[in-house]
Amino acid sequence: MRSEPLRVGVIGFGKMGLLHASIASGLDVSRLAAVADPTTGVLDPLRRFKPDVSVYDDYERMLAKESLDAVFITSPTHLHASTALACVSAGLPFLVEKPLSARASDGEPLVAAVARTTLTNAVGYMARHVDTFRKAKQIVDSGVLGRLVHLQATMYVSQLFRAGQGWRYDPAHSGGGVLITQNSHLIDLLLWLFGPIDRVRGHVKSYYSEKVDDFAHAIFEFRSGLSGYMDASWSVRHHRTLDLSIAVHGHAGTLQVTEDDVRLYLDEAIGEYQSGWTVFRKPDLFEGVTIDVGGPEYTRQDEQFLNAVAAGRSVESDVQSALQVQRVVEAVYESSANGRSVSLEP
């Protein structure tokens, strides 16, 4: 392990760039060394309050001039792959915000380039680090539910009730609407928990938006034999924050998980788990973090990535796994467009 903190750069200094910069500044393993963003107004306060941080309006100049150990990429989605490729060329480990790219075809050259290196890389699917979903992963992996049969999964947030403005609502820049943005967190969780998806039948609908989807629905068939549905929208009321919910039914029991709690029902006691209902609540599962900016899951994600960089290790939520999310997303869009189910290649 290194004795000196990692010198960290941030590309893109919007909300997520500020979040990652704050975490990197608060951890012992790292310090914020440089920031790049083409918007001058965004950088002026940073120049005043953090004069020790180098500031650039061009990330390529930052990569060329600064001696960095790791980079966070939080630029608009259509720039993710090309920016990450520049980091690969510079030999720099990187964490890129989700989704991986606007289209799978944009992410594939990046995945191929990373595969030729030993660079630590990660994609910002932070929901894996939420206490309740981590507990759900332990339960699923333990096998106590028996053979998994049926899945119900939803993602709702009350975000959009009129036409949105900006790059997020332009599919050329964002890749699409709710399905590829917030709901990619849910698809990543489903792949992480239950393994590869073989077949998809999907439907998307625009209501408030002209060019992107406000509602998304899909039926998934997993390689394991599990099947079920996903429903998502950023245009439903009464969900102030991102609301992820997963319920899976197995031969031996049922598992229900949200960000608030995990509910396990077993027909018979197995190992450490009793028969009947057991409820694990988020406060009881909580493990402390060094700094909390936006939620402890972001700290865990960034700390995992930076510790992996310092030790020369890999992380599970990498560009390869994120490409699988991208392919599922595109299969839903394709199915919705042609009215037929779509098979995903192994």
What pLDDT, in 10s, does the model give residues 139-160?
999 999 999 999 999 999 999 9
Specify the pLDDT at position 1: 54
For each of the domains in the chain, give its residue range(s) and CATH number, in order of start. Answer: 6-126+294-315 (3.40.50.720), 127-291+325-343 (3.30.360.10)
- Nearest-angstrom CA–CA distance, 337 and 254: 34
The interaxial angle of helices 131-142 and 183-194, nearest 10 deg, is: 30
Label the pairing between strands 70-73 and 243-250. unpaired
pLDDT of residue 126: 97
202 neighbors 336 (Cβ within 8 angstroms): yes
- How confident is the model at residue 181, as a pLDDT? 96
> For position 96, what pLDDT does the model report?
98
- C-alpha span between 66 and 166 (Å, rounded): 31
- pLDDT score recorded for residue 336: 98
Q: What pLDDT shows up at residue 40?
A: 75
Please measure the distance between the N-terminal and C-terminal CA atoms of the chain and give it in whole angstroms: 37
Q: What is the pLDDT of residue 135?
A: 98
- Taking CA 108 as the corner, what is the angle to CA 107 and CA 110, rounded to the nearest 5 degrees? 70
Question: Per residue of the chain (346 residues), what is the pLDDT tens digit?
Answer: 567 999 999 999 999 999 999 999 999 999 999 999 998 777 888 888 888 999 999 999 999 999 999 999 999 999 999 999 999 999 999 999 999 999 999 999 999 999 999 999 999 999 999 999 999 999 999 999 999 999 999 999 999 999 999 999 999 999 999 999 999 999 999 999 999 999 999 999 999 999 999 999 999 999 999 999 999 999 999 999 999 999 999 999 999 999 999 999 999 999 999 999 999 999 999 988 999 989 999 999 999 999 999 999 999 999 999 999 999 999 999 999 999 999 998 7
**Total Cβ atoms within 10 A of residue 112:** 10
pLDDT value of residue 69? 98
User: HSE of 239 in the Cβ direction (CA atoms, 13 Å)?
Assistant: 20
Q: What is the pLDDT of residues 22-79, one digit of tens each?
A: 999 999 999 999 999 998 777 888 888 888 999 999 999 999 999 999 999 999 999 9
